[in-house]
Structure 1
Amino acid sequence: MADPLAAFRLDGRTALVTGAASGIGLAIARLFAGAGASVILADRDPAVEGIAADLGGRGVIADLADPAQVDALGDEPTDILACNAGIAGPAGPMHAMDDAARAALYAINLEHPIRLTARTAPAMAARGRGSIVLLSSIAGLRGNAGLGHYGITKAALAQLARNLAVEFGPQGVRANAIAPGLIATDWASAILSNPERTERRLGATPLRRVGTPGQVANAALFLASDAGGFVTGQTLVVDGGTLISDGN
């Protein structure tokens, strides 16, 4: 009997994951490797080399705010690209963010995926196959008073996925985004370390719990693999129902 989960396998494919030394990126890299992919992990944290070696892959220490380093990553032959690296930037009103902080936020969250896909998508198209997964956020699907610029970059990633899907779909390349909600990572510690904020957030989440990096990785595997072979240009929300809730 044929393996009913064969469509989720990534054997014979090379996957590049950015921001892969921790959190969601690490979970994606581990799952992709477990599904048979040859993985390339990129992160500014030097620990990425050892992490990649443990997965049988290759680690690249890279500053994703540096266009030259991003371009070098884009020259890697890949079948799957998962752009996960991102920062939140300082919380507060949009007008209060200084130029340097705003430039850093947009460079990592938006310019790095734009530059990387500008190199990888045409190469995938030339080979007739490829899948791109961009890590957006529910912050890009609703208004946000404290992380406005972050939300703008994440909304733009969902649009980037749609644009890539239309432009490269005829050549067999799919592009999608994932919009996580509150996930148990170091990034979410500002909320999770505050019982009152955590209770308020979970009270507005129908499943009443925090998500895990592995649950986001599961969505990434679906989109990257043949299991999601007829899905493109979509933003898959992984948030326990926060976005659709009436707050009760």
Structure 2
Amino acid sequence: MDYGNLFRLDGRRVAVVGGASGIGREAARALVAQCAHVIVADRDMCRAERTAALAVGEGDAAPDRRTGTAAANPLDVLDPDAVRAAVAAWEPLDGLVVTVGANVRKRIADYGLDEFDRVIALNLRSYLTLIQAVAPGMAERGRGSVVGFASMRAFQVEPGQGPYAASKAGLVQLLRTAAAEWGPQGVRFNAVAPGVVRTPLTDQIAADPAWFDAYAQASALKRWARADELAGAVAYLVSDASTFVTGTVLSVDGGWTAGPTVKYVMGQ
């Protein structure tokens, strides 16, 4: 084992779906820094191109350090035909990182079916389509790592988070099942479960000072995570440092699930 290069991804091809912003952007940057060729896939092509340029530009600023490359690709994960076509064009893939997600914060009694369908479609159905497109090629080559983003809400809920929590719990079980089905062919599937992370998805919470502070105080570290603090988990799960890790959930929640439940919920 070459421990000096345990996290290096030289020559690996990794697609980051949802890489235009937030956690996806930071994941792409981290993977390029480890010398992977990263495909930044997102519906927002303009921001995806910015992510790719940012990741590669960091390497240009440090010529003594080898880094990878990045390219932006448009992708609507809710279009199964587009997903299959994109994956066929990206092959061969050594890794897939998926960070897409949506949340509608409402109590169950107030939820519309269209809102429910939108959350489930993006948080769960899109993963099924991506896994179906990517896993067979990885299995044929006898290797590959798929990393999906669940949430602490898969394990700890609060009012107003029902469909979101259900989708994330479902994602954990989908990835675990995929790990069991494709494990014999050398393909690994794992989930990262963040706590509260400052991204566009959490703007509604961050805009309320009391809510923001309550969420910060609920974690052991007494603060929110930055998006870049999730990138290390992604690099680990894609790299050879985790070759015997599959079907698991890596919690990166600042100790949220180890502490008391937040008391300030839904403005109450």
Q: Which TM-score applies when normalising by structure 1? A: 0.93
Unaligned runs of 5+ in 1: none
Matches within 5 A, 1:128-143: 128-143=142-157
Aligned AA for 1:212? R
Is the aligned partner of 1:238 residue 2:237? no
- Equivalence for 1:52: 52
Q: How many residues of Structure 1 are paired with residues of Structure 2 in the alignment?
A: 246
Alpha-carbon distance between aligned partners in 1 of 2:236 and 2:258, rounded to the nearest angstrom: 22
In the other structure, the counterpart of 1:35 is: 34
C-alpha displacement of 1:131: 0.3
Structure-2 change in CA distance of 1:92 and 1:46 (3 Å)? same
Instruction: Tell me the distance in 1 between the aligned counterparts of 2:155 and 2:246.
Output: 18
User: In 1, Cα distance between the equivalents of 2:2 and 2:239?
Assistant: 15
2: CA distance, partners of 1:101 / 1:32: 33
| 1:184 and 2:184 matched | no
CA deviations on 1:222-246 (whole Å, 9 max, x unpaired) are: 1110011111100011111111113
* Contact 2:179/2:246 (<8 A) preserved: yes
Q: Which runs of 5+ in 2 are unaligned?
A: 57-68, 263-268
Choose the corresponding residue for 2:76, options 57, 63, 71: 63
Tell me whether 1:206 sits opposite 2:220 in the alignment. yes
Question: % of aligned pairs identical?
Answer: 37
Q: Alignment RMSD, CA only?
A: 1.7
Deviation per CA, 1:11-54, whole angstroms, max 9, x where unpaired?
11100111100000000011011111111111111211343244
Bigger drift between 48-57 and 74-83 goes to 48-57
Preserved contact between residue 65 and residue 104 of structure 1 (Cα < 8 Å):
no
Aligned counterparts of 2:109 and 2:31: Cα–Cα separation in 1: 40
1:86 matched to 2:101: yes
Q: Which amino acid aligns with 2:37?
A: S
Written as runs of structure 1 = structure 2, the 5 A alignment for 1:2-17 is 4-17=3-16
Q: Which stretch shows the higher mean deviation, 196-205 or 14-23?
A: 196-205
Within 5 A, what are the aligned runs for 1:150-229?
A: 150-229=164-243
Using structure 2 for the length normalisation, give the TM-score.
Answer: 0.87
CA separation in 1, counterparts of 2:84 and 2:120?
Answer: 16
CA drift of 1:175 comes to: 0.7
Distance 2:136 2:159 in 1: 37
